[in-house]
Amino acid sequence: MRKHMQRMLSLIFVVVLSCGMVQGCKSSGEKAVPAATEPVSEPTELHQPTQGQTESTEPQTQSQSVSTETQPIKPTQAQSTQTQSEQAQTGQMQTIKPTQIQPTQTKPLQIQPSVPQQVFATAVKNTVNLSWSAAENADGYVIYRKKKTDKNFQKIGTVTGKILFTDAGLKAGEIYVYKIQAYHKVNQKTAYSQDSKMVTVQTAKKGISTIRNFLKTALQPVGSTMYVWGGGWNKEDTGSGIDAVSIGVSPAWAAFAAKQDADYDYNKTKYQIRNGLDCSGYVGWTVYNILNTKAGNEGYVMKAKSMAKTLSQKGFGTYRDKEKVTDHCAGDIMSSACSDCSHVWIVLGECKDGSVVLLHASPPGVEIDGTVSAKGEKNSEAVRLARKYMQKYYPEWQKKYPDRSRPETYLSHYCQMRWDISGNHVMTDPDGYRNKSAAEILEDLFGE
């Protein structure tokens, strides 16, 4: 009898012990309650990603942690009754190791911005204006500068929300080199673009600008700006429009040009004044950018036939009627009052055969062209040079618009304004462009 009572007490002890260990059983006299019906006392916490992970949108259970401890599995009501019976017989608790679920490791999305293009630098006295086309995915830009004789660049500024930078207080007559990086911020990190192409500019020792700077500025819209009748003018067609009194090239010019094909017809785009430049709009924009550091001042867009004379009357240089023009020097501004011409252009340089390499806005757009030789030869040295440089540096434009030749009238029908390079007014010529051939000037302008 005593042995029977001891055996019964041992059995009751095992049952009570098992009931206490199984979750949901509050006392030896209560049934086990399934875990799914238990009230939740605290909200489930979301998994917080570590650096380099993306945030989870689903709550993580305790079994998804990286703990190596074994956890008891909550039984259903049927399983609880069966488990109690088995444990009562064996006196042991059954445990099952949970499946370990590791959180997915993902790197933050890094969007590297594109490289800033069309970087443009022009010097006005002891100030350099920098502009460029907007880079994709850019939150801002970092500007670097060095002197030509220095080895390393120095960071000189950061801009956001604009594509223009003014570097003032520079040394007169010094040569500076600039480059630009775009940057994009994501997940508290910063991604940088590759460096832009370097641009070189020299401040004037005297005066406001230099012949080289004038021609470098005139090159900026080449190969990326269509000829648009009225481009650069205001809506009233009385003078300079917004673009002609702005610093740097307008992004709209290149965007419009990219949409055109070899059959571009300027007669269909007349007075779309923000999409390109006409001849006087182009020359007026160039002159403005070598004389100003801010937008919105008095402009220089005027009737092509009077531009050479009007600019000379402002004290910029000397004027010659077409009958008195005997040669062409770098930077000369040529304008014609002839009814069959009505055009204005800039001399880049003269060749030995008397032909002239020129910069102008003429259908289809802003480009480098060459005149015939003094003897009327169409395949002149100037035409060959123009073709060479347009093919090398503006290949897409050259493919669409291959004609580089301009007629004899460019040599005989145009009046001339030649810059005063004494430094007492606007211009100096420290690079000696006045004494260089067109080929030498092109090599220098393109850094060859």
Q: Check residue 416 and give its pLDDT.
A: 98
Sheet holding 164-167, edge to edge: 117-124, 127-133, 164-167
Q: Mind listing the pLDDT tens digit for each residue in 85-109?
A: 444 444 444 545 555 555 555 555 5
Pairwise pLDDT comparison (65 vs 244), residue with the higher score: 244
**Rounded Cα distance, 300 and 286, in Å:** 9
Band of the pLDDT at 181, cuts 50, 70, 90?
Answer: very high
pLDDT in tens, 7-37: 555 554 444 444 444 444 333 344 444 444 3
Instruction: Output the pLDDT for position 63.
Output: 36
CA distance 399 to 23: 81
Going by pLDDT thresholds of 50, 70 and 90, the confidence category of residue 339 is confident
> Dihedral through CA 327, CA 330, CA 334, CA 340, nearest 10?
80
Q: Which pLDDT value is given to residue 8?
A: 58
- SS3 for 81-97 is HHHHHHHHHHCCCCCCC
pLDDT band (50, 70, 90) for residue 5: low
Looking at per-residue pLDDT, the higher value among 52 and 233 belongs to 233
Name the residue among 439, 436, 445, 325 with its Cα closest to residue 382: 439
Q: What is the pLDDT of residue 101?
A: 55
Q: Which of 18-22, 133-137, 209-213 has the lowest mean pLDDT?
A: 18-22
φ, ψ of residue 190 in degrees (nearest 5): -120, 125
Would the pLDDT of 409 be above 50? yes
Q: Please tell me the CATH superfamily of domain 117-203, with its number.
A: Immunoglobulins (2.60.40.10)
Task: Give the pLDDT score at 341.
Answer: 86
> Torsion angle of alpha carbons 217, 218, 221, 226, nearest 10°?
160
Average pLDDT, the chain: 83
- Judge contact between 128 and 219, C-beta under 8 A: no
Tokens at 9, concatenated: 């007490």
Average pLDDT rounded to a whole number, residues 120-147? 95
Domain segments of the chain as ranges: 117-203, 212-445
Mean pLDDT of the 333-348 span: 92
Helix axes 77-90, 2-21, angle to 10 degrees: 140
Cα separation, 127 vs 119, in Å, equals 16
CA dist 65 and 306 (Å) reads 82
pLDDT band for position 77 (cuts 50, 70, 90): very low
Share of the chain above pLDDT 90, in %: 71
- pLDDT in the model for residue 103: 55
Residue 35: how many other CB atoms lie within 10 Å: 14
3-state secondary structure of 345: strand
If 0-12 CB within 10 Å is exposed, 13-18 middle and 19+ buried, where does residue 55 land? exposed
pLDDT: is 368 or 73 the higher one? 368
- Tell me, what's the pLDDT at 311? 97
* 130 phi/psi in degrees, rounded to 5: -115, 135
In CATH terms, the fold of domain 212-445 is endopeptidase fold (from Nostoc punctiforme) (3.90.1720)
Mean pLDDT of 336-340: 83
